[in-house]
Amino acid sequence: MSEKSTLKILVLGGTGMVGSAIIRTLRQNGYINLLTPTREHLNLTDQLSVRQFFEVNRPHQVYMAAAKVGGIHANSSFPADFILQNLTLQTNVIDACFLSGVKRVLFLGSSCIYPKFSPQPITEEALLSGQLELTNEAYAVAKIAGIKLCENFNRQYGASKGIDYRSIMPCNLYGPGDNYHELNSHVIPALLRRVHQAKMRGSSSVTVWGTGSPRREFLFVDDVARAAVFVMGAAKDLYSSVTGPLVSHLNVGSGSDLTVAELAQTIKSVVGFKGEIIYDSTKPDGTQMKLLDNRRIAALGWSPVVTLHEGLVRAYDDFRGRVERLEIKL
């Protein structure tokens, strides 16, 4: 039997945007022995339940894509929830991986881990070099803790136990399965929803939070899923050639950015909205610029394949389909 049929792979967060994309990518690559428990079947904030699940199922690899996520409004309004839930669930999972003998883990974080005023493009060495952006500090602190948890398990037990826990830090993600909540979504799903509503209602304008001047980098979710599977499967010597004991994570980005205003105009075109985009400068902009330096993962042989325009078309098709199926109520 081939390794792809016998390797038992656990994907946590499999109903979310990133987790479901990882599952799609694994299946496309021929992996069939997948464990994909839902939140109803496995509560990751319950340490005992997590340990029991790992003890019974004994996965060989674990993709840690489960997290409490949200946009600026959600992060600003519920910071205690974001830091507590993320710290709890990721600690429970990594602890259970170690106790049950899982040799390889891929932990997914976010580019918000980096300081607000990092030199651009942001290299992996920028981690912990300055003050975080206040609007998502709680989430960022939790993700930094996850990176360091994986990193220090490797430092202490890598040689003696043969474990190899890896981390990737994607830029802003979007695509099928995104969260389109009216208040708690990220910028692309929020704009797709708002512009679509304006088009359906025949409105003359759409209001966008902030000045429109911040620059953002975006990556289609299937591209980050490809990166996750690629990094998980990379030989240890190869991965070690671009990482180190104290800089063990990899950036995953598209390599280019654009202003929020340019993004809004692109979404306006994709949706077919003919009205005006208005910017509400009383609302926060967040970090002014956040472009990742992705030379390390590029050196391993990975690069994105989906352009922003193509990705937005696919995301909008997914959004409209979910509206038609009443999964999203406008």
Active site amino acids: 139
Quote the DSSP letter at residue 165: E
Distance, in Å, from the CA atom of 91 to the CA atom of 219, rounded to the nearest integer, reads: 27
- Helix ranges (DSSP H) in 135-240: 137-161, 187-201, 221-233, 236-240
Helices (H) and strands (E) in the chain, counts: 12, 13
Q: Which residue, chain included where needed, has tokens 């340019």?
A: 262
In the chain, the amino acid numbered 330 is L
Tokens, residue 305: 């394949």
Interstrand relation of 172-174 and 215-216 (parallel, antiparallel or unpaired): unpaired
Distance, in Å, from the CA atom of 134 to the CA atom of 315, rounded to the nearest integer, reads: 29
Distance, in Å, from the CA atom of 25 to the CA atom of 28, rounded to the nearest integer, reads: 5
Whether residue 172 contacts residue 218, with contact meaning beta carbons closer than 8 Å, is answered with yes
